[in-house]
Amino acid sequence: MTSAPKPLHWLLIAATLAVLTWSGIAPYDRATWWMEVAPALLALPLLVTTYRRFPLTDLLYCLIALHAIVLMVGGAYTYARVPFGFDLQHWLHLQRNPYDRIGHFMQGFVPALVAREILLRGGHVTGKRMLGFLCLCVVMAISAWYELIEWGAAVALGQGADEFLGTQGDQWDTQSDMLMAMIGGAAALLLLARWQDRQIAAVCGKSRMP
């Protein structure tokens, strides 16, 4: 286990807090900001309290920080108004700002690797195929739960939830969001599994690969 935070980890904390501060100074809609950054606000103290007892890999800490920043930028502008999204819309000749698609892709990409690391290090799964399947199940459960939260916000707030939902008139927005999360999860498992395995072995002091 680690005895003291690495410089990289301090840098990630500083960068994340800096973006959080910038994002919270004057967001487009304060209620939407709270709802968008809530996952990051919940994750940060959890990561701090578990840092010595269950330190994650550097790869995972970097990806979690990146995901938090994506949420904070979306919270500052609302997803349908993020400037970078308008640039993508222009470059790719899209009909809508696609920044929310990036957010949902990350909603699958990062949780898939979080689930994978916990399942591997805990010895809960030994088969590679079952490991991948369960990680994608976790991704889809998180995505479905988030869509239920959006539905609840729509019911409770009515038109006041429009900024949070960010559907931009797309009747299939819920299904598209879940598809992007699944694609993100699958991409993470295909592209980063071996890298994560090496880092897990370094953190644990021995290999626990299935």
- Give the pLDDT confidence of 29-84 residue by residue, as tens digits: 898 899 889 999 999 999 999 999 999 999 999 999 999 999 999 999 988 899 99
Residue 55, pLDDT score: 93
Residue 181, pLDDT score: 95
Q: How far apart are CA 175 and CA 67, in angstroms?
A: 21
- Terminal Cα-to-Cα distance of the chain (whole angstroms): 21
Residue that has been written with the tokens 């010595």 in this structure: 52
**Confidence (pTM):** 0.87
Q: What angle do CA 32, 34, 35 make, to 5 degrees?
A: 65
Residue 151, pLDDT score: 76
Q: How far apart are CA 92 and CA 196, in angstroms?
A: 32
- Give the pLDDT confidence of 13-41 residue by residue, as tens digits: 999 999 999 999 999 989 889 988 999 99
Q: Say whether pLDDT at 2 is over 60.
A: no
Confidence of residue 208 (pLDDT cuts 50, 70, 90): very low
Non-local CB neighbours of 209 within 8 Å, separated by 6+ positions? 120, 197, 200, 201
Q: Say whether pLDDT at 155 is over 80.
A: no
Three-class DSSP category at 49: helix
